[in-house]
Structures are given as C-alpha cells and as structure tokens.
Structure 1
Amino acid sequence: MTTSVKRADHRVSARVRILLWLLFVMAVALAAVAVATRSILLRDVDHRINQLLTQETGEFANFVEQGVDPATGLPFTDPDALLRIFLQRQYSDPDEELLGLVGTRGPGLRVIRQSRDIPRSVALHRDRGSLDAIAATDAPSGRLARAQGEVRWAKVPIKGSGGAEPDAAFVVAFHADRERAVADEAFRALLAISGVALLMTTGIGWAVAGRILAPVRVVRATAAELTERDLTQRIPVQGRDDIAALAETFNAMLDRLEQAFAGQRQFVDDAGHELRTPITIVRGHLELMGEDPAEQRETVRLVTDELDRMSRIVEDLLLLAKAERPDFVRTEPVQLAELTADVFVKARALGERDWVLDGVADPEAVLDPQRITQAMVQLAQNAVQHTVPGQRIAIGSRTTEGRIELYVADGGPGVQEQDAEVIFERFRRGTARRGARTSGAGLGLAIVRAIAEGHRGGRVELRPTEGGGATFVLTLALEESPCTAS
C-alpha cells in the first residue's frame, strides 16, 4: 500500500509531460534556426571577403598591365612608384588595408601604405612578424590568426626588371572580426528572442494543454466517483475532436457497465424473489415429514416437483442473462417454410389441441433457427396453457413489407387490454388470468421478447385473434442470405 502511494506521488501529469515535450521540441527547433542563421551569415561574410580580395587583386593586376608612370609616360619599371601611385588612387573599406611590400623580409622589408588611420591594435603594417610571413610565402592568399583578430589576405607579386625574382608585392588585408561580430550579434539576438518565445510558449502551452486535457480530468474524476451502486455519472461531450470521441466512448462503456450491473442485480433479485417460495415449501414439507411411508412418498413427490420448478426458473433466468451477450443470437441462412413446418411438428406434442398449419412463407431468411424455434415453442406452450383440449391453435409464417412474421394464434379467452403492456415483463402474468391454471414463473414471454429483440429490428407483438383469443407474432427484418441476394 505504501509503495503504491509513493508511486502515485511521483507520477508526472500528462499536462506537464506535454509541456516538457513541447518546450524540448521548440528549444531544439529555435536553437537549430539560430545556429543555421549564424552559419549562413558567416558564410556570407566569407563570401563577401573573398569577393573583395579577388576584386582588389584583380584591379591591381590590371593596373600593372595597363598603368603608365606619370613621370615618364611609359609603363612602370619601378615597383616602388607602381605601388605608391596605385595606393594613392584606391579607396579602402574601413576594415581593409592595402599595402605594398618592397625588398626582402626582416629589416630590409619596406612597407608602403595608404595615408589613412587604422587602429593601432589591429593595424597589419605594424605587425612585422605577420608581414614577414606574408612576404615569405608563395601562396596567393591565406589567413592570419593573430591575438588582435583574424586577418584574411591576398597577395600579387611584382616581377623585377628583366624577369628577376619578385622583390615587391601588393597585399590586400581584411580584418574580419567586425564582420563576424555582426553575425555573432545576430546569433545572440536570435537566442534572446528564442528565450522569450520559450517563455511565451510555456504559458500558452500550459493553458492550451489544460484546456485540451480538461475532458480527460473529467473522465478521471467521473471514474473515481463511480461505484457499484451508482453508475449514472456521464461526461458532457463538447466539440467533435478526439477528446469528444474519448468522452463518447467512455460514456458508451459506462452504459454497457450500467446495463451489465443492472442485469446482474435483476438476476439476483429475480432469483431470490422467485426461488424463495419453492425453497420455503421444500423446507416446510421436509420438516413436517413423518414416518408414514405414504406421507414420505407424497412429500418426496412434492419436493421433487418444487425442485424441478426451481431448476426451470434458474435455467430461464440464465437464458435471460445470456440475452445481454452479443453472441446470444447466431444467425444463418434458413428456409422459412422448413422452419415453420419443424415448429409445427414439435408444437403438436405439447397437448391435445386442434393444431393448424395456417400458412407458410417460402423465402430464405437470415436468423437463428434454434432461438426462433425456442420462442415459437414457448408461444405454443403458452397457448396450450390458456386453452382446453380441442380448441384451435394455428401456427404459421408470412412476409409483409420487407419483414417476416411467425405467429401462434389460439382460440382462448384472449388478453385483457390492461394486461397487454405487462405480460412481456419478467414474473408478470397480468392482473387477469386467461383461464387455466399455469405453473410457470412468468418468464416465458420475457424470453420470447429477448429472442425477438436479439435479432436486428426484431420484436414480439400481441394481436387479437378473429373470433376471440390471442395472436403472438414474432416480426423480424427480412435479411436474405448473400447467395439468395445475388
């Protein structure tokens, strides 16, 4: 018991689980968007820097091929003059440095730069080590990872006079940190927005999950309130979504449970009510039985008769209880004429009456032949109990307006109008008896009604008989078998 309570205390509600999963999915999605956006921005930065480096080196290469020294009017022969004039004519971006390198690396390396201010903390022309590395490499471009920040560079070597080894170079350097900072700032802004979105999602998700799961909580509360004695609680159905379908399914289940418990209680009540009398009779006779052999034989006869009656009552009650099950009726294709003739032959053995096979319908119908035979024989037995020898009892079948009717008509005293509504109920024979003494428990017609209603669209009706008497009619839907229908 303690373990169950502890487990219940640590149970996480469906509302919390839905919210946690929603937040997890949202967080993953927002993080993926932020990372993807940062990657795209950084890629765009790299692409723009590459374009700028390509553009600047291309412009310098064109100037080398087509440029003219203003002092001589001839193509440039002095790298120093070439670099100075080109740098004077160029306009650089704020994060861009255009440099000319003349001479060899180390102390002999001379730097030509534009006359513009660049922060000392990042200026490449003050970093002799980086300039030596650029001058010494044969690569046309590269990256420099410095403490002051990353530098992307490209280089165009200048051939010396007479095709000698290059002794000068044009260098374009781009300080990428500020451009990358823009992408990082956008990334941080997205993370902040994602945090706000998660907070809003938490509130909205909590409210929406509570609204969606409200019927589930009603189901839980209703289930907690159900007891064996009170199965009347139902869940209000609102909307047409899955939750409404769940409520409808739960209500249908409660209907079935209520019917099952009602049937169980009725069975117990009926059995206790109807068996109490024969049990009292049996006990009384056994207690008063003397030693006289004749008295003992009479007592045994009476006790046996009461026990047989109790057995019939129990069998009838069990049959009525089984009528609530879906397999109570098992239909199959049946020749109606053959079924009517079989019922007539079996009914004639019930008593000396003027038995008449009144009419026979010929179609093939889908029904349960055993249950229908049981109901018709019960109606015939009922007719025998309320007629005298020699009176007419007619059995027949017919079709009318897409239905079939099997009937038993007797010439007895009939059923009074005030009794017609109650004779199909359990243990009810009506306020006016139809003549002859009966020994049944009042379950026969209840069984007939259960069998009729067990067939789809079936019912039992009481109709007057021409010339006096009562006619009981089983009316069923005419369901033809697949073979017949085709």
Structure 2
Amino acid sequence: MAVALASVAATTRSILLRDTDQRISGLLAQEAGEFANFEEQGFDPETGRPFTDPGRLLRVFLERQYADLDEELVGLVGEVGSRRPTQIIQQREIPVDRPLHEDADARRRIYASPDSSGTLDRPEGEIRWAKVTVARYGGEPAAAFVVAFHPGREQARADEVFRVLLAISGVALLMTTGIAWVVAGRILKPVRLVRTTAAQLTEQDLTRRIPVHGRDDVAALAETFNAMLDRLERAFATQRRFVDDAGHELRTPITIVRGHLELMGDDPAEREETVRLVTDELDRMSRIVEDLLLLAKAERPDFVTPEPVQLAELTADVYVKARTLGDREWVLDGVADREVLLDPQRITQAMVQLAQNAVQHTTAGQRIRMGSRADGPRIELYVADSGPGVQPQDAEVIF
C-alpha cells in the first residue's frame, strides 16, 4: 500500500510537471509567433509605414503586450557580440529573484545563443526562453525579442501537490494499517485458537474443541482440526479400553493359576488336577489374548477386505461349521441367493461367534436356526436360538 500510494503521488507530480512544461512551451511559441507576425505585418503608428528601426519595433510591440505573472517580455538591441545589449522591457515587477532584465549575464548569454529557444540554469532559478531576432534590411541581427518564463512557481505548485498527496497517503496508510490490523486479527483469531488448543491438548484431556463460525476457509480449518481431535480421542479411548480389557480379562486366569500353583501339594493326584486346571486357564488366557488382538486389529483400516461372494454358498458353509459347536437341533432356516460384496472371513468369524453364544445359552436338543435374507440393498445374516433371550433394558447396552 505504501509503494502504491507513493507511486501515485510521484506519478501525479510527474504529470503536473509535464503539463507545466507543455503549457510553458506553448506560451513561449505563442508569444514568439505574435512578435514575428507583428514584425512582418505591423506599421509604425507615427509614420504609418513598416518599421525600419529595430528599437522602435520592439518598443511599440512591448507597449501593446501584457505578460503573464511569471513571464518577461524583453527587447534587446545591439550587436550580437556586444557585452551589454541595450534592453527594452515592460515596466512591471514580477515575483521572482533576480528577473532577466536585472541579470546582464543571462541577457548576454541568451542574446548570443544561436538557438531560438532553450533553458537557462541559474543559481536564482531556471529560465525557459524563446527568441526572435530582428535584423536590419538584409544585414546582421541588430536586435532580438525575448520572451522568458520563470517556471519556479509552477514547479513549486506541483511539488506542493506532491507533498499534499504524500500527507494524505500517509494518513490513508495509517488508517488502512489500523483497519488491516483489526481485520487480520479477526481472520487469524481462529488460527491462534487452533495453536492454543493444540498446545493445551494432553493424552488425558482430548475433549477441547474449537468453535466454528461461518463457512470460510478458516472455519473449514477449525472443522478439520476438530475432526482430527475426534479421531485422536477415539484412538486413545480405544487404547484405554484395550488396556482395561486386557487387565480385566487376564487378571482372573493369572490369579487362578498362581493360586493353584501356590497350593499344589505333593500328592500325584492333586498335582495332576492342578496341572489340568492350570492348563485349562492357560488355554482360556490364550483365547482371551487372541480376542483382545482381534479387537485391536478391528480399528485398522485393512481389518475388513470385501470381495464378491455368493451369499447362499457362504451361508451354507457357516452352517456346516457351526453344527460342530454343540449337540443342538441345527436348522438352515433360509438362504438368499445373490452375489454381495463382503469379507467372507470376518462374516464367518462373527457368525460362528454368534452360534457359540447361542450354544452357551441353550441346552442339548434345543433348536438353533441360521440363515440369510435380502431386502433390497440390505443383506441380513442371522442366528436365532430358543434360549432365555436378552432383557430389553440390557439389549441397548449389549448391541
């Protein structure tokens, strides 16, 4: 913003100076042209004839002119090489330091210059000038009309506009900076909140969330961060549950094994019974470890690998495997004949587990039905037994 405002101010100053130069050049050309026309077509008011005296020509012309405020109209008479040409000027003061009619050296340099226009640099200020030489009939130049313009005030006005623009730009820059500071602070507030929240998170406390306002990119960042915290919280909760389950499930068989070993006597029959009990508990412990590992793997994305499977064939295979779990009346209740996308190993594992549960809650000879059915896009595999069932208040907790 600072560079842009400074560029605007500098460009404005450059345009003003260029316009000033063009106006001065036009003014000089106009004055020189008017004198040239007067020299060619003018008549001496006293004689009614063309001018023959350069001095008289200059004096009459200057008496009829009115110069601008920063402009000087000067007539110079004398040989080109003369050190101090005689001057004829309008009797008027101009507000500049050391005007041309008071600067003999500047008049000489302009009078002796072969150019018709130019710029004269002086310590007192720059002079833009144009000159029209006047010669006697067919002779060498004996006089010259000089129009001089002092551009100092015009240039100072452009510089003043430049300074005013800089001052206004500075105020605008301060206001813009303040507004930008406030707006940027509001925009970055959620980012700082994300950083603060991340710094306050610990393994014991993952419940902090960032409030989401609006629908912009910062709000999307907050939502993404909250979703990440949700995943972290679930991961840590799963880890804690796994540790709690492992501690709870393994503590009992370990206690039993330790107690039997501590109480084991010298009697061979007692030793044999202790070994049997310990082996049974170790087997149970091994199954518990496998179940815990299965629960841990269930959180992995590759735990389930679906593939196209014939549902009727899968249902029949599961039924054949489940019949060996116990002496029950096993019934293949129904089969859905269609191809579905699922993981046959995980489905078999879950169905066998449900069948084992049905065996535990029934007695010999009771009926256990297994089957599958399809209802539109929904596929259902089921195990139904004739045991006591689950109380309604416990069903929500179990499932």
TM-score (norm 2): 0.89
Change (3 A) 1:174 1:284: same
Q: 1:154 is aligned with what amino acid?
A: A
Alignment of 1:146-157 (within 5 A): 146-157=122-133
Match of 1:134 among 89, 104, 110: 110
Q: Which residue of 2 aligns with 1:414?
A: 389
Could you give the per-residue CA deviations for residues 348-374 of structure 1, whole angstroms, max 9, x where no partner exists?
Answer: 343444443333323433333332232
2:203 to 219, 228, 232: 228
**What's 1:116 paired with?**
92
CA RMSD of aligned residues (A): 2.6
Tell me what 1:67 maps to: 42
* Whole-angstrom distance in 2 between the partners of 1:328 and 1:218: 36
* Residue 73 of structure 2 corresponds to residue 101 of structure 1: no
Structure showing greater Rg: 2
User: Following the alignment from structure 1 to structure 2, what is the Cα–Cα distance between the partners of residues 194 and 74?
Assistant: 62
Q: Distance in 2 between matches of 1:339 and 1:72?
A: 135
Counterpart of 1:483? none
The farther-off stretch of 307-316 and 356-365 is: 356-365
In 2, Cα distance between the equivalents of 1:410 and 1:304? 31
Identity %: 75
For 1:225 and 1:154, locate their aligned partners in 2 and report how far apart those are by CA, in whole Å: 81
Q: Secondary structure at the match of 1:272?
A: helix
Give the counterpart of 2:175 among 200, 203, 208: 200
Contact 1:282 1:303 survives alignment (8 Å): yes
In the alignment, does 2:35 pair up with 1:44?
Answer: no
Provide the rounded CA distance (Å) in 1 between the counterparts of 2:96 and 2:198. Answer: 78
Q: Which runs of 5+ in 2 are unaligned?
A: none
Q: Distance in 2 between matches of 1:63 and 1:335?
A: 116
Confirm or deny: 8 A CA contact 2:84 2:108 kept in the other structure.
no
Q: CA deviation digits over 1:388-421, x for unaligned, max 9?
A: 4444333322221431212222333433334323
Q: What CA distance in whole angstroms lies between the structure 1 residues aligned with 2:107 and 2:334?
A: 121
**1:272 Cα deviation from its structure 2 partner:** 1.0
The aligned runs of 1:209-224 (5 Å cut-off) are 209-224=184-199
Deviation at 1:30, TM superposition (A): 2.1
Bigger shift: residues 130-139 or 142-151: 130-139
In structure 2, C-alpha distance between the alignment counterparts of 1:100 and 1:364, rounded to whole Å? 114
Match of 2:284 among 309, 312, 325: 309
The code of the aligned residue for 1:378 comes to Q
Q: Deviations over 1:49-71 (max 9, x none)?
A: 12222222222233333333333
Structure 1 residue aligned with 2:134: 158
| Matches of 1:231 and 1:177, distance apart in 2 | 74
2:142 matches 1:167: yes
* Correspondence list, 1:74-473, <5 A: 74-103=49-78, 104-119=80-95, 121-162=97-138, 164-424=139-399
Amino acid in structure 1 at the alignment position of 2:115:
A
- Name the CA distance, whole Å, in 2 between partners of 1:80 and 1:157: 12
Aligned to 2:5: 30
**Counterpart amino acid of 1:328?**
F
Match of 1:14 in 2: none
TM-score w.r.t. length of structure 1: 0.74
Give the Cα–Cα distance (whole angstroms) in 1 for the partners of residues 238 and 325 of structure 2.
32
Query: Structure 1 residue 96: deviation in Å?
Result: 0.9
Contact 2:75 2:144 (C-alpha < 8 Å) held by counterparts: yes
Partner SS state of residue 12, structure 2: helix
Contact 1:120 1:126 in 2 (8 A): no
User: Are the structure 2 counterparts of residues 293 and 50 from structure 1 closer, same or farther at C-alpha, using a change threshold of 3 Å?
Assistant: farther
**1:184, distance to aligned residue in structure 2 (A):** 0.9
Matching residue's letter, 1:156: V
Distance change >3 Å, CA 334–CA 128, structure 1 → 2: farther
The one-letter amino acid paired with 1:117 is E
